[in-house]
Homo-oligomer: A and B are copies of this chain.
Amino acid sequence: MSALTEARIARAYLLRVAEPPAPALAAFVAEVGPVAAARAVRSGECPRRVADETAARREVDRTEQDFAAARKAGARLVTPEDDEWPAWPLLCLANAERRGVRSAATPLALWVRGDVRLDETTESAVAIVGARASTNYGETVAGELAYGLALRGHPIFSGAAYGIDGAAHRGALAAKGTTVALLGCGVDIGYPSGHVALLKHIANQGGLVISEYPPGTQPARHRFLVRNRLIAALSEGTVVVEAGRRSGARNTATTAGVLGKIVMAVPGPVDSAVSAGCHDLIRDAGSTLVASVDDIIETVGKLGSQVAEKARPKRATDGLGSDALRVHETLEKREGKAVERIADESGVPVPRVRAVLPALEMDGLAECCESGWRQRRVVRKLSTNVSEIARGAEVRQ
């Protein structure tokens, strides 16, 4: 069995053992790698907090059945060891975790149904979420916004629920765009029952149906809330279209805010109870009012770069995790190194090196050349402004 296959099997096992979010387990896996983590969990010889998260189900090993059920449902397991792993969008979870947001644990892997690459669907993705008990107004608006955004190349993420979620997915499909459904149950569970055809449609038409819950996992309220962090993390911004004052959609919005993502809300009639949550978000939570596709694109574009700039640490390597720092320090300025050599020299396990490098690349701190990975020469470390970088380049000539 190859090391990669071993890592996949370990992750599938761990996904079933611990009910997400499992922050201690996620941290443990990041530290020792999935194979060693799985071995430790299985034997019960792991740090106390990890043991707490995994005690109840650590003897349940249904990995083979899970892979079989996934295959039957047309799904695969995507892991941090895979090229298509959305390392960059998920970084916000790791960052939030580091800031002490317990519910922000990075998923250990994701069960994915559909043919496109997962990382491609997250590029400039917009989440559109909202009330199940929506009005005609809300559904029309959600559908039109999703349609318009999808036409302009923005993948639409949502939660496959009745009401606003369904309208958003259908709007994107109508534009032949990409849409991604994040579930709070297994990818093989037809839930909600009225959306079985919609989910099939999404997976077959260039979209994805995703869950961190193993095949067969039944839907539950707490799972929808846990799932919400993935909707928020994998998209650049979240648009709330109709939401009650206490609702799942508001939970997604709050999570998106905690993760440093852009939160937008669509206004509606002041006498509509399902617009009240949106109005609260705009008035009290600093969410941006959006009334059109242009508003959303402008907000995601503008604030996206501002947020990135704000979040950017003072030194380029500030704020990196210990693994990322060790990997970065191992890289040379000119010559590239193979992943195995980096792992050897840094002491960071190969899979973890593989997970960290693309994040460093997105951060502008590493790049891939013919001979492997090397440090990226940063022209102007703190600038994300292309024209400034161009000017800097001119000056150097």
Query: When the two chains form the complex, which single residue of B141, B270, B276, B279 contacts A141, counting CB atoms closer than 8 Å?
Result: B270
Q: Is the CB of A268 within 8 A of B270?
A: yes
Contacts of A270 in B (CB 8 A): 141, 266-268, 291-292
Copies held by the complex: 2
Residue A84 CB within 8 A of the other chain = no
- CB pair A283 B295 closer than 8 Å: yes
Within the assembled complex, what's the spacing in Å between the Cα atoms of A276 and B289? 11
CA of A71 to CA of B306, assembled, Å = 61
**With A and B bound together, what is the CA distance between A355 and B283 in angstroms?**
39
Indicate whether A194 reaches chain B with its CB closer than 8 angstroms: no
Smallest distance from the beta carbon of A204 to chain B beta carbons, Å? Answer: 32
| A interface majority secondary structure | mixed
Per the bound structure, the CA–CA distance linking A271 and B266 in Å amounts to 11
Q: Does A288 contact B (CB under 8 A)?
A: yes
- Whether, in the assembled complex, A32 has its beta carbon less than 8 Å from a beta carbon of chain B, the answer is no
- A256-274: contact bitstring with B at CB < 8 Å (1 yes, 0 no)? 0000000000111111000
Beta-carbon nearest neighbor of A279 in chain B: B291
A282 within 8 A of B: yes
Given the complex of chains A and B, what is the CA–CA distance between A151 and B238 in angstroms?
A: 39
Question: Do residues A288 and B292 form an inter-chain contact, with CB atoms below 8 A?
Answer: no
Residues in chain B near residue A267, CB distance under 8 A: 267-268, 270, 275, 279, 282, 289
CB distance from A16 to the nearest CB of B (A): 44
Residues in B neighbouring A275, C-beta threshold 8 A = 267
Further 9 A-B residue pairs, CB within 8 A, beyond A267-B289, A268-B269, A282-B282: A141-B270, A266-B270, A268-B268, A269-B269, A276-B291, A279-B289, A283-B290, A283-B291, A289-B289
User: Chain A interface (Cβ within 8 Å of chain B)?
Assistant: 137, 140-141, 266-271, 275-276, 279, 282-283, 288-292, 295
User: Could you give 6 example pairs across A and B, Cβ below 8 Å?
Assistant: A140-B271, A267-B267, A276-B291, A282-B282, A282-B289, A289-B289
